[in-house]
Amino acid sequence: MELLEERIRRDGIVKKGNVLKVDSFLNHQMDIQLFNEIGKEFKRLFAECPINKILTIEASGIGIACIAAQYFQVPVVFAKKAQSINIDGDVYSTKIESFTHKKIYDVIVSKKFLSREDHVLIIDDFLANGCALAGLIDLVQSAGAAIEGIGIVIEKGFQHGGDLIRGKGVRLESLAIIDGMDDETGDIYFRQ
Ligand code: 5GP
């Protein structure tokens, strides 16, 4: 997605440790006009799929998922990071290791909001090693729901999450794929 790549080139900041900061438009301050274009693009890509629910994870996925949901006209459910003491039989739970915080979280979704009738589109901001997505896929499968596809805003193609998820046979669409970043020059190389 040209508009997104231009924005990443202009405002993205390459940090040490393969981290790209996009705080000024994606995951702190949010550019809603850009989010609208992202939502439209997800709708175009998944137009043929019988999606009745969008699943994301707190916090950064929520804004993107909500704007996209307006194009799909479906509700958004976000997986919550929980204390394990609060986990009871009313929820599906899984464990996710955070790439940015290097911590393992218990993540839950209430059984009320995900069931075998659902056809789910999973949306998230970043794909790096694939832990967040693997956890979300696990939650959907625990509920017996169908995964119609996954929409990612920025995939870091030089990490292995994309291969892992595509290897599971799930349809994954990333709007920008970065094949390399240089924290000294600030250069970002996009997949063509
Ligand atoms: P994964 O589980 O695929 O390793 O990482 C995905 C999650 O880590 C995303 O939901 C995102 O919040 C965070 N993340 C991974 N890489 C980056 C990055 O380079 N920049 C930012 N801002 N977040 C990242």
pLDDT at 21: 97
Angle, to 10 degrees, between the axis of helix 60-72 and the axis of helix 32-45? 60
Residue 31: exposed, middle, or buried by beta-carbon count in 10 A (0-12, 13-18, 19+)?
middle
Q: 5 CB under 6 A from ligand 1?
A: no
The sheet carrying 91-97 orders its strands as: 91-97, 104-110, 76-82, 53-57, 119-127, 146-156, 172-181, 188-190
Q: 19 CB under 6 A from ligand 1?
A: yes
What is the number of the ligand 1 atom nearest to the C-alpha of 124? 10
CB atoms within 10 A of CB 123: 29
What does the longest C-alpha to C-alpha distance in the chain come to?
A: 50
Cα–Cα distance list, 113 to 79, 90, 110, 116, 117 (Å): 10, 10, 6, 10, 11
Pocket test for ligand 1, best of 100, 102, 181 (most atoms within 8 A of CB): 100
Going by the DSSP 8-state scheme, the letter that residue 25 receives in this structure is: T
Q: 155 CB under 6 A from ligand 1?
A: no
How far apart are alpha carbons 186 and 77 in whole angstroms? 35
How far apart are alpha carbons 92 and 140 in whole angstroms? 9
Give the closest residue (by CA) to ligand 1 atom 22.
21
Give the closest residue (by CA) to ligand 1 atom 9.
126
Q: 20 CB under 6 A from ligand 1?
A: yes
Q: 64 CB under 6 A from ligand 1?
A: no
pLDDT at 102: 79
Q: Which helix (H) or strand (E) holds 120?
A: strand 119-127
Q: Please work out, in degrees rounded to the nearest 5, the angle formed at the alpha carbon of residue 112 by the alpha carbons of 111 and 114.
A: 65
What's the CA-to-centroid distance between 64 and ligand 1, angstroms? 14
What's the CA-to-centroid distance between 94 and ligand 1, angstroms? 18
Q: 56 CB under 6 A from ligand 1?
A: no
Give the closest residue (by CA) to ligand 1 atom 19.
19
Residues sharing a CB contact under 8 Å with residue 52, sequence separation 6 or more, in sequence order: 74, 117, 118, 119, 120
Q: Which residues pair with 19 in a beta bridge?
A: 15
Q: What is the mean pLDDT of each run of 10 residues along the chain (192 residues)?
A: 97 96 97 98 98 96 98 98 77 89 90 97 97 97 98 97 95 98 96 90
Q: pTM of the predicted model, to two decimals?
A: 0.96
